[in-house]
Amino acid sequence: MPKIRVTKRFHFEMAHTLYEYDGLCRNIHGHSYILEVTLIGEPLNKPKHPKDGMVMDFGLIKELVKTQIVSRFDHALIVNSLIPEKQQELLKQTNERFLVVDFQPTSENMVIYIAEIIQQHLPSGVNLFSVRLYETATSFAEWFASDN
Ligand SMILES: [Zn+2]
């Protein structure tokens, strides 16, 4: 069977701050992110099987990405662990969804982080082809398996 790519798009709202950045993004601010996850595999060729003709059921892709990614990031504040601990404590007290990561939370680093999580949860025979994350309508970062 030929290999086919399937893509599902997601939306989430997230706030971040870029530590020591030389521009406005060092202030806490939010984006309406659009995430596109593309998987690649051979469509199942088993007549009468409920998943016949599918690389991965779109419903299952949705469940996986919602559980592993969207529920973590939606309406969360994400910060670099390099920000002072006192400031982290304060932010933690006022934000239910507060994520400290050991990288600068740019779109570029976010796609690496997202790709690693998704890859850990894919069924056998299905691979991650790419992850695209729009930070604004005109800016996005992409991770491609073929580049890495
Ligand atoms: Zn930003």
The per-residue pLDDT for range 23-78, each reduced to its tens digit, is 888 899 999 999 999 999 999 999 999 999 999 999 999 999 999 999 999 999 99
Ordered domains of the chain (ranges, CATH) = 4-75+106-147 (3.30.479.10)
pLDDT band at 147 (very low <50, low <70, confident <90, very high): very high
What is the model's pLDDT at position 24? 85
Q: How close is the Cα of 24 to the center of ligand 1, in Å?
A: 8
Which residues hold their Cβ within 5 A of ligand 1, which is an ion?
25
What is the model's pLDDT at position 70? 97
Mind spelling out the 3-state secondary structure of the chain? Answer: CCCEEEEEEEEEEEEECCCCCCCHHHCCEEEEEEEEEEEEECCCCCCCCCCCCCCCCHHHHHHHHHHHHHHHHCCEEEEECCCCHHHHHHHHHHCCCEEEECCCCCHHHHHHHHHHHHHCCCCCCCEEEEEEEEEECCEEEEEEHHHC
Q: How close is the Cα of 106 to the center of ligand 1, in Å?
A: 7
Q: How close is the Cα of 39 to the center of ligand 1, in Å?
A: 27
What is the model's pLDDT at position 135? 97
